Amino acid sequence: MSKEDIEAINKYCSPDSFLIITYKGELMRLYCPFEVTVIRPVDTYKFGDKVKVSQVKMDSSLILVYIIKGKGYYYFNFLILIG
């Protein structure tokens, strides 16, 4: 994916929210900051740690990245906690 393609996508996406599908199959917009639990140890975080996501972004392969304390981590290392 080219830099121009990613810029075009980001033009319509916000780093402050994204859409998720709940376990009930409902579409919901989730706004930052939100809390997640670590399900795969990454960097200094271990399984079960709870952290806050301040922004959401995409990498050049269109994989969702959570910004936590200024650093980017792939979404699949975390479980979203709602409510």
What is residue 75's predicted lDDT score, i.e. its pLDDT?
96
Number of domains in the chain: 1
Q: In degrees, to the nearest 5, what angle opens at C-alpha 59 toward C-alphas 6 and 52?
A: 120
What is residue 5's predicted lDDT score, i.e. its pLDDT?
75
Domain that holds residue 76: 3-81
pLDDT digits (tens), the chain, 83 positions: 677 877 777 666 788 988 888 888 889 889 999 999 999 999 999 999 999 999 999 888 889 999 999 999 999 999 998 76
Distance CA 26, CA 57 (A): 22
